[in-house]
Amino acid sequence: MIYPPARLLSLAALAAYFLSFIPMHAQTQVPPAPAQTQSAPAPEPAAPAPAGPPTFPKPDPANFTAVSPTKDEVNAFLEANWGWDDSRVWQVQAIFKTPVEGVSKVVIYAGDKTGKQQPVALAFFVMPDGKHLIAGNDVIPFGAHPFADNRAQLEQRADGPYRGSVSKTLELVEFADFQCPHCKEAQANMDKLVADFPNARIVFQNLPIVSGHPQAMNAAEYGVCVAKLGGSSNFFQFAAAVFDGQDGLATADGATLTLNSAIAKAGLDPAKVSACVATPETKAQVEASMKLAADLAINSVPTLMINGRPVEANQPYDLLKKIVEYQAKLDGVTQ
């Protein structure tokens, strides 16, 4: 379960397609685009039993009316987002000038090399700043290095407990909620990432979904104090115990028992942690982490930021690992 407002997961939902999420959990929500005086031709119907890469219609030069972005810039953006997937193929079909000064409409065709998926036509609008696009209900970073701004923000503001390297050259930042069942599931992936990427800095940031999880904020505050009093090592012992006993967070009394038990397993004094939780600074630290998530447009958990690239943290591990390796390669990181 992804808590609202959820990201879209369909192949036809361009925003989610860029964000490396898994199409099999799909919900589709693609609003109609504004009417245009020009349009790209519809993709040719797929054969009933395709046996190879799709054949896209030849682009018409008359459909490239915008000065910016260029076709090369669009391809560089798509490569940054989709290059990790060896089976994915695409073609830039049109870049239209729109009635709004500086806003361009880009149309692409996308498919897979096996031909198992029918090719789809996808459209998005590039904003005048050349650094953002609008697809569906989402505003997404655009450019050859679309995750650079996210990465810079995380390097400066992601201050949660971490495992692995002190260096931020490869920084994986997990935004999670202690009361979220899928965050609990994601911890197996996080442990594997720690083992497989010893040169990575893997950070935990609180993002309690308070609308659905009444005890999530309290658990986050306890986690902040465990990290403050005991350090990162104690925090991850505490976090593992809280996730293991997550059912106990269903009630206020159960949460107190669960959190105190986790504190004891981490080797700390529950009374000292409780006193720390009562301070306004502790709540402010959790709220700062929530503000960081909001500034990065993260609105669901568990989300993992890989040098600024957002992905679901609880997707199949082999795929998650592949995306981490690809992003590291893009950023020139030696693993």
Mean pLDDT along residues 122-140 = 94
What kind and span of H or E run contains 220? helix 216-230
Q: Examine the fold and report which residue of 145, 168, 185 is the final residue of a domain before the chain moves on.
A: 145
- Given a cut of 50, is residue 3 above it in pLDDT? no
Residues 179/213, Cβ–Cβ less than 8 Å = yes
Both 174 and 301 in one domain: the answer is yes
Mean pLDDT along residues 168-175 = 98
Distance CA 61, CA 185 (A): 49
End-to-end CA, the chain:
32
pLDDT tens digits, one per residue of 231-254? 999 999 999 999 999 999 999 999
Parent domain of 196:
149-330
Between vectors from CA 324 to CA 154 and to CA 243, what angle results, nearest 5°? 70
Confidence of residue 29 (pLDDT cuts 50, 70, 90): very low
Distance CA 265, CA 105 (A): 55
Between vectors from CA 63 to CA 62 and to CA 64, what angle results, nearest 5°? 95
- Given a cut of 90, is residue 51 above it in pLDDT? no
Which pLDDT score is estimated for 116? 83
Q: What is the pTM of this model?
A: 0.85
* 3-class SS of residue 57: coil
Q: Examine the fold and report which residue of 109, 128, 145 is the final residue of a domain before the chain moves on.
A: 145
Burial level of 94, CB count in 10 A (0-12/13-18/19+)? Answer: buried
109 phi and psi angles, rounded to 5 deg: -110, 140
Residue 187 in any domain: the answer is yes
- Given a cut of 80, is residue 20 above it in pLDDT? no
Domain count, the chain: 2
